[in-house]
Chain A
Amino acid sequence: MTKNRHYPTYFLFGTLLLYVVLYLLPGILGIGYSFTDWTAYSDQVHFLGYDHMFDNYVKAFSDAKYFGYLGNTLLFTFVTTIVKNGVGLALAVLLTKQVKLLNFHRAVLYIPAVLSALIVGMIFKSILNPAQGLLNSTLKIFGIKGLKWLTDPKIAFWSVMGVDIWKGMGYIMTIFIAGILSISPTYYEAAQIDGASGWQQFRAITLPMLAPTMTVTTVLNVIYGLRVFDMVYALTNGGPGFATEVLYTGIYKEFGFGRYAMGTTLSSIMFVFMALIGFFLIRAMNRNEVEE
Chain B
Amino acid sequence: MKKTLALLLTVLMLLPLAACAQPAPAAEEAPAAAATQAPAATEAPAKQDITLTFMASQDWVQDAELALAEKFTQETGIKVDYQIVPSDQYPNLLQTKLNSGECTDIFCSQAGRFDIVTTLNVAKNAVDLSAESWVSTMEATAAAEVTADGKVYGQPMQDTSAVWAIAYNKKIFTDLGLAIPKNWAEFTAVCDAVLASGVTPIYEPVSDGWHQVLWFAELGAAYDKAEPGLVDALNTNTKKFVDSAIMKTAIDQIKEMADKGYWGDNYMADVYADQAAKMASGEYAMSLANQGLPQQVADLNAGLTADDIGFFVMPIADNQMLNVNPVGPTRFVYSGSKNIDAAKQYLAFLAQPENLQYMVDNVPKFQNLPFSGITPKYAGTVKEFYDMYAEKGTVLQTSVKYVNPQWMEIGKEIVSVIQGTEDDVTMLGNIDKNRADQATAAQDAAW
- A-to-B contact residues, CB < 8 Å: 8, 10-11, 13-14, 17-18, 21, 39-43, 129-131, 148, 150-153, 233, 237-243, 252-253, 255-260
Contact present for B99 and A40 (CB under 8 Å): yes
Measured between beta carbons, the chain A residues less than 8 angstroms from B207 are 151
For the complex, give the distance between the alpha carbons of A18 and B121 in Å.
Answer: 35
Contact present for A148 and B413 (CB under 8 Å): no
Question: In angstroms, how far is the closest chain B Cβ from the Cβ of A30?
Answer: 14
Q: A14-B6, A41-B118 are in contact. Are A239 and B412 (CB under 8 A)?
A: yes
Contact present for B269 and A40 (CB under 8 Å): no
Chain B, interface size category, equals 35 or more
Contact present for A241 and B209 (CB under 8 Å): no
Q: Does B176 contact A (CB under 8 A)?
A: no
Question: In angstroms, how far is the closest chain B Cβ from the Cβ of A253?
Answer: 6
Q: Does B10 contact A (CB under 8 A)?
A: yes
Within 8 A of A (CB), among B394-447: 405-406, 412-413, 415-416, 419, 421-422, 437-438, 441-443
Contact present for B95 and A14 (CB under 8 Å): no
Measured between beta carbons, the chain A residues less than 8 angstroms from B406 are 257
Give me 16 other A-B pairs in contact (C-beta within 8 A), A130-B268, A131-B270, A240-B416 excluded. A10-B6, A14-B6, A14-B10, A14-B13, A18-B14, A41-B442, A42-B441, A152-B268, A237-B88, A239-B88, A252-B92, A252-B96, A255-B95, A257-B437, A257-B438, A258-B441
Interchain CB contact (< 8 A) of B419 among A8, A21, A241: A241
Q: A14-B10, A258-B95, A259-B437 are in contact. Are A241 and B415 (CB under 8 A)?
A: yes
Contact present for B2 and A8 (CB under 8 Å): yes
Residues 189-208 of B, flagged 1 when their CB comes within 8 A of A and 0 if not, give: 00000000000000000010
For the complex, give the distance between the alpha carbons of A129 and B96 in Å.
Answer: 29
Contact present for B269 and A131 (CB under 8 Å): yes
From A131, which residue of chain B is reached at the shortest CB distance?
A: B266
Interchain CB contact (< 8 A) of B17 among A21, A43, A233, A259: A21
Measured between beta carbons, the chain B residues less than 8 angstroms from A130 are 266, 268-269
Contact present for A256 and B412 (CB under 8 Å): no
Interchain CB contact (< 8 A) of B99 among A13, A152, A243, A255: A255
Residues 71-98 of B, flagged 1 when their CB comes within 8 A of A and 0 if not, give: 0000000000000000011011101101
Contact present for B419 and A41 (CB under 8 Å): no
Main secondary structure on A side of the interface with B: loop
Interchain Cβ contacts under 8 Å between A and B, 22 examples: A13-B6, A14-B10, A14-B13, A17-B13, A40-B99, A41-B442, A41-B443, A42-B441, A42-B442, A42-B443, A130-B266, A131-B266, A131-B269, A233-B89, A239-B209, A241-B416, A252-B92, A256-B96, A257-B405, A257-B406, A257-B437, A259-B437
Q: Does B245 contact A (CB under 8 A)?
A: no
Measured between beta carbons, the chain B residues less than 8 angstroms from A10 are 2-3, 6
Measured between beta carbons, the chain A residues less than 8 angstroms from B13 are 14, 17-18
Q: Does B40 contact A (CB under 8 A)?
A: no
Measured between beta carbons, the chain B residues less than 8 angstroms from A241 are 412-413, 415-416, 419, 421-422
Interchain CB contact (< 8 A) of A40 among B3, B121, B268: B121
For the complex, give the distance between the alpha carbons of A39 and B439 in Å.
Answer: 11
Within 8 A of A (CB), among B1-54: 2-3, 6, 9-10, 13-14, 17
Question: In angstroms, how far is the closest chain B Cβ from the Cβ of A292?
Answer: 43
Contact present for A258 and B99 (CB under 8 Å): yes
Q: A41-B441, A148-B269 are in contact. Are A242 and B209 (CB under 8 A)?
A: no
Measured between beta carbons, the chain A residues less than 8 angstroms from B121 are 40-41
Question: In angstroms, how far is the closest chain A Cβ from the Cβ of B388?
Answer: 34
Within 8 A of A (CB), among B259-312: 266, 268-270
Closest 8 CB pairs of A and B: A151-B268, A256-B92, A241-B416, A39-B441, A241-B415, A41-B442, A131-B266, A256-B95
Contact present for A237 and B209 (CB under 8 Å): yes
Question: In angstroms, how far is the closest chain B Cβ from the Cβ of A216?
Answer: 29
Question: In angstroms, how far is the closest chain A Cβ from the Cβ of B402?
Answer: 11
Question: In angstroms, how far is the closest chain A Cβ from the Cβ of B208?
Answer: 11
Within 8 A of A (CB), among B178-230: 207, 209
Contact present for A153 and B419 (CB under 8 Å): yes
